[in-house]
Chain A
Amino acid sequence: MNKGLNRFAILVACATFFLIIAGALVTSNDAGLATNDWPLSNGQFFPKMVGNLFWEHGHRMVATTVGMLTIALLIYILAKEKRQWVRRLGVGALLAVIAQGLLGGLTVKLMLPLAVSTAHATLAQLFFCITVSLAVFTSRSWIEARTLEEDKGSLPLRYLCTAALVTIFLQLIIGATLRHSATWDKDLPTELILAHVGGAFAVTLALGSAALNTLLRYKGHSFLTRPATLALVLLSVQLLLGLAAYLTRLASPNDPQPLNPMIGITVAHVACGALVFVTTIVLTLRTYRVLPATGVTIDLTSRPQEFKVS
C-alpha cells in the first residue's frame, strides 16, 4: 500500500467534486454559452472574467486542472501500483476525463443540445465515481480488509447495494436531463419533474433498504456501517434540497436574472446528489470486498418434491 498514492487519489477525487460544483454553477447561472468559443474563451486563454464568463471560463480552468491531475495520477499509479486492474482503472480515468472535455466542447459548439449536455453531466458523475473508486482501492482499509462472516440476510447485501447504485445513477441521468431541458427563465417540463420525483422515491427505497440492512446486519463493522450511515444522512439532506430546488426553480422564470437562492440550492442539490452516488459506490465496493459472494443459493440439482396421491 502506497500512502502517497492514496492521498493523491483522494486529492483528485476532491478536485473532481469541486469540478462538479463548478459545472453546476455554469448551468444554474445560464453561463454555458457566455462565449461561443472553445477551448479558448473569446479567443483568449485568460479572458477578462466578467459576467457569466467568470463561471464558464472558471469551469474550464478547473477542468483543465483536473485533467492535469488525472494524468499525474495515472503516472503515479503506473509507477507504484502493481495490481493490473487498478492500473487499467487509472487509464480509464484518463480516457473518461478526455471524453468529458470533448463533450464539454461539443455542448458549447452545438449550443447546448439536451443530449450532449446531459451526457456531459452524466459522465461527470461517472468520472467522479472512477476517481473515488481509485481512492478506495489504494486505501489501507481496502487492502487490509478481512472477509466477514456470511451474509445473514435473505437478500445478499451486495445485490441490495448494487440495486441502489443503479437506481441512483438512473436518477442522476433524469436529474441531468431535467436541469438541461430548460434554462432558469423557462418552465421545467412537468413530465421530467414527475420522473425525477418518482426517481427520488425509488432511490429512497433502494438506498434506504441497502443502508438499513447494512446497519442491522453488520453492527460494529465500521468498514460497512460508516458509508451506510453517511449515505442515509446525505439522502435525507438531498431530499430536502430537492424540494427546495424545485420551489426556487419554480419561481425563477419571474426573476430578472438567476438569483443566489436558486443558484445556491440547485448547485447544492447537484453536489449532494454526487455525494450520495459516491458514498453508495464506496458502500457497494466494500460489500464486494468483505462479504462472501454467496448469499442466496438456488439448488437446481435438488429433487422436486414428490406428492403421493392416496
Chain B
Amino acid sequence: MNKQTKVWLVLSIALSVVLAAACGGGTTNTTNGPANTETAGAGPYSGPTGTVAGVVSFNGTPPAAKKIDTSADPVCGQANPNLMTDETVVKDGKLANVFVYVKEGTVEGGKKIGDYTWATPTTAVQLDQNGCHYKPHVFGVQTNQKISITNSDHTQHNIHWIPKSNPEWNQSQPNGAPPIEKSFNRAEVLVPVKCNQHPWMKAYIGVMRTPFFAVSADTGAYEIKGLPPGTYTVVAWKEGGANGTEKTMQVTVPANGSAKADFAFGEGAATTSLNPSLKVMPAMEIPLHH
C-alpha cells in the first residue's frame, strides 16, 4: 500500500466515523476462481485432444434492440448515428455474443481439468472503443493474459470494470491516448465493463484459468479446441437483466474427435445434442446472483 493510498484510507475511515453515516457497507465478495498462482501440480497436459463445438440458437421472437440516445456526446452520434443495444443479437434464429466455456470436468485417467497448468498466451486481446461501443462486446481471456485497450473515437472514454474477485479498476482514456494494457489474475466469469461517460457502453470479459472458452459468432457457432478427452460441464452464458443467464450441459469429448453441444435461449429453450455418444443433462437455466 503506497503512502497516498494510506492517507486516503485514514481520511476515509476518520470522516466516516465522525459523520456516523457509514451504514450498510461490507458487501462480501464471492471468489469466482482461484488466483493463477494456485496450481495442483499436474503440470502441462500432453496427449491427444478433442473439440467441443456447437451452435447457440434463440427460440421465439428476440427482444427488439433499443435505440441509444447519444445526444450527450455529439461525437458518438456522428460516429454511430443509429446506435442500438446489442444485448440479444439474433440472425436467422442464431444467437451471437454468448460466452461458452468449460466450467469443470474430468480428463480420461481421472485427473481434473483444473489440475493441469495451461500456458498464458503471450498475445494481448484487443478491446477497442469504437463508435462509442466496445468491440468486441463479449470476449474471454486467460488469467494474466494482457488486454490491450484502445480508443478509436474522437472523444474521451473511461474503462471501468467491476469484478467480484479481481480488483475494481477505472481509468480515463482520452482520444489519441496510447493503448492501456491490463490483466486479471483471478478467474472470473464474467467481469462487466462499462464506460461511465457513456453509460450505454458495456462489455463482458470471461476470465479463465484454462484456454477452453469461446464466444458464439453471428452464426451462433462456437468451437472450443484442444480439450483433453474426458467429460466436461460446458456452460453458455448470455447477458441480460442484472446478471445474465447461464445454461449448462455435460459432454464427453473423444480423443481426436469432436463433441457437439448446442445451446438454446429464449422461449421454452432446451439444450440439444446431435451427437448420440454425448451424455446430455437437461438444460438448466440459472439466474446468476453474484
A positions within 8 Å CB-CB of B: 29-37, 42, 48, 50-54, 99, 102-103, 106, 109-111, 113-116, 118-119, 122-123, 126, 173-174, 176-177, 181, 184-187, 192, 253-258
Measured CA separation A173–B16 after assembly (Å):
13
Measured CA separation A174–B21 after assembly (Å):
10
**B22/A115 in contact, CB under 8 A:** yes
**B74: A residues at CB distance < 8 A:** 50
- Which of B168, B170, B174 has the most C-beta atoms of chain A within 10 angstroms of its own C-beta? B170
**A115/B198 in contact, CB under 8 A:** no
Measured CA separation A30–B24 after assembly (Å):
20
**A173: B residues at CB distance < 8 A:** 21, 23
**B23/A115 in contact, CB under 8 A:** yes
Chain B min CB distance to A275 (Å)? 20
Q: Of the listed stretches B33-41, B137-145, B152-160, B254-262, name the one at the interface; the rest are far from the partner chain.
A: B152-160
Measured CA separation A14–B223 after assembly (Å):
61
**B24/A177 in contact, CB under 8 A:** yes
Measured CA separation A214–B63 after assembly (Å):
55
With A42-B172, A51-B198, A111-B170: A33-B160 Cβ-Cβ less than 8 Å: yes
**B19: A residues at CB distance < 8 A:** 99, 103, 119, 122-123, 126
**A42/B174 in contact, CB under 8 A:** yes
**B24/A52 in contact, CB under 8 A:** no
Write out, one digit per residue, whether chain B residues 30-67 have a CB within 8 A of any chain A CB (1) or not (0).
Answer: 00000000000000000000000000000000000011
**A123: B residues at CB distance < 8 A:** 19, 21
**B68: A residues at CB distance < 8 A:** 256-257
- Beta-carbon nearest neighbor of A109 in chain B: B8
B positions within 8 Å CB-CB of A: 8, 11-12, 15-16, 18-19, 21-25, 27, 66-69, 72-76, 85, 155-156, 158, 160, 168, 170-172, 174, 194, 196-200, 202, 241-242
Chain A min CB distance to B173 (Å)? 9
Chain A min CB distance to B21 (Å)? 4
With A35-B158, A51-B72, A256-B68: A116-B12 Cβ-Cβ less than 8 Å: yes
Interface of B is mostly: loop
Query: Which of B16, B160, B199, B242 touches A187 (beta carbons < 8 Å)?
Result: B242
17 chain-A/chain-B pairs, Cβ below 8 angstroms = A31-B197, A42-B172, A50-B156, A51-B72, A51-B198, A53-B156, A103-B15, A109-B8, A115-B12, A116-B16, A119-B22, A122-B21, A126-B19, A177-B23, A181-B24, A256-B66, A256-B68
**B170/A36 in contact, CB under 8 A:** yes
**A114/B11 in contact, CB under 8 A:** no
Query: Which of A50, A99, A102, A119 touches B73 (beta carbons < 8 Å)?
Result: A50
With A115-B16, A253-B241, A257-B68: A34-B11 Cβ-Cβ less than 8 Å: no
**A34/B158 in contact, CB under 8 A:** yes
**B197: A residues at CB distance < 8 A:** 31, 34, 50-53
Chain B min CB distance to A298 (Å)? 31
**B174/A257 in contact, CB under 8 A:** no
With A32-B196, A48-B156: A114-B24 Cβ-Cβ less than 8 Å: yes
Measured CA separation A240–B23 after assembly (Å):
26
**A187: B residues at CB distance < 8 A:** 242
**B174: A residues at CB distance < 8 A:** 42
